[in-house]
Structure 1
Amino acid sequence: MSRTFELTPLQRTMYANSALVERPWQYVEQLVVDLPSERLHTNVMQRAWSDLAKAHPALRTIIVDNGGQGIEQKITPSTHVIIPEHDWETIPRPTAEARFERFLNADREAGIDATNDVPFRVTIFHFGQNHSKLVWTFPHSLLDGASFAPLLDEVFRRYQENSPGIPADVKPVSSNEHIFKSHCNALAAMSHDAGEAHFAEALQGWSGNEGLVQANVEPTRKSELSHELTESQSAALLAFAKRAGVSPTTVILAGWGTVLARVSGQNDVVFGNTRNGRRLVKGAQNTAGCFITSVPVESVRSSV
């Protein structure tokens, strides 16, 4: 049975907006696991990642470029995952941290070749006798956000299982390769005419422009801004949503639309809303892969 199958529309868009336009840093996920009280054993972790990739076809799914005939994806045979190791135990901590930040920037800038037999990278760093960091880098077209934490949890349980004298109970995420393939084939067989017509009508007369979109951005642009709501603020948000008869997610989307309107100076903004996408085939809820889809949301304000 051939293992070549269609990409989802969102996978196709991600690939087109990175590899095909030579911006490999776009749609790259980079997860850092900081272990301040543990020194990782690289050989044991290599086995854990190799076992994880063997158990989950999503980690062995690559893009196949057929030239003028388009792109597809296929599942490759299981392979041994090689993990580079950097031992900076003797280097002063500020120097090591600066080197680490430079690595993260270079790692993102390099992107991931989604056509490689192992379409992800894992790197281990040692900052002291009992302090390690693990960096996992992969294309977003490989996995969606719902897959990240379960796979990381499983690989560390496999690491524990492979460590001498430490028992572990590994219960893998569903690894049936036919689930994601069936999802992709089902999407490919669907007619999207009705959906396209619906959104064309819904967005007819949109007065905005590309706004915040920047086609040419630096690969090292990544920054983080976090803010946690207090318990009383969370309660107020839930109460407001209940009074309005909408879900908390709808309130958050309205808030995001307000932010975009103020930043862009536009009263009428359109942004993407990511949907789970795991309801098309049975078993998808617990399967690793990139099931997500995105739909446009228009937010219109009387004034910014």
Structure 2
Amino acid sequence: MAFSRLHAALESYIDIPFNAWLSIILILTYECAIRHPGLLLLVVLGVSVTIVVFDNTSTVGEMTKTMCVLPLGLGSVLAFLVANRSFQTRYLPAFTTYVNFAVYGNIGMMVGTPADGTLRGMCTKVACVALFIWIVQQGHRAGWKTIALHDNLFVFTAVSKSWIFAHAIYRFVLLTLPRFGSGRRHRLLELYSLTLTFALSSTSNLPFEYCFGMADTLVVPAVAGWSAIATTFNLIPRDAINNDLLSNRIGTVADAYLSAVSLAVAIFAFFKIASAPRRGSQGV
């Protein structure tokens, strides 16, 4: 009885079947990324083709986003990683430019996420602007040389630990907007991303912040791909919690609290921007 009540309570906030399978997918993805990136690349391409051919439920915008994070995002990173070292060295500047465009462009475009008539939606815009300026500042201080060669990891060096955690808080609030539905499938996104960052850092002995780019590049496509596949082939029950129910749960008081959290992230980001040294190594 107690277990049933706990399960029901969790189920109202988290899509348990979706996240249970996602956890398994992420473990396998992590192992493949470390040991068999070529195999993972084939899986990514196969899943992408499957989604394009069979997915009739996604909107054009959803399909575009899925293709951006799967074959164009994770796929391109894996293709670069499986190339020989001479190719990587020769085309590192071009690959770095591509990654910078994707990273900064994606964060910048999130400013345009509709607020859906909520106070927290407007506040997340402010937080996003601050985070965008902050990470661009870090990229500028690195001379836009943001990628380092590594044997089997995508290493993005121009981001600090404090930015990573501030971004995690911002994105958690962002995903509560009605624009993202009930959010039950994505509520653990930050936990997955930070956990995988820690795992990659421990495995590679690289700094935690250097592994965030690879971790997020694995997690976000895995979530998007699994969501599309699960919905297309009805592999698990669809999310039955709609936007109206979510709006009732996040009332004016919760909206105000989440807005304050977003503004706190923005204030912290602007403080870090203002206090950053003009020269020298990137701070934490």
Q: If the TM-score is normalised by the length of the shorter chain, which range does it land in?
A: under 0.3
Higher helix share: 2
Which protein, 1 or 2, shows the higher relative CO under an 8 Å CA cutoff with sep ≥ 6? 2
- When normalised by structure 1's length, the TM-score is 0.26
Higher strand share: 1
- When normalised by structure 2's length, the TM-score is 0.27
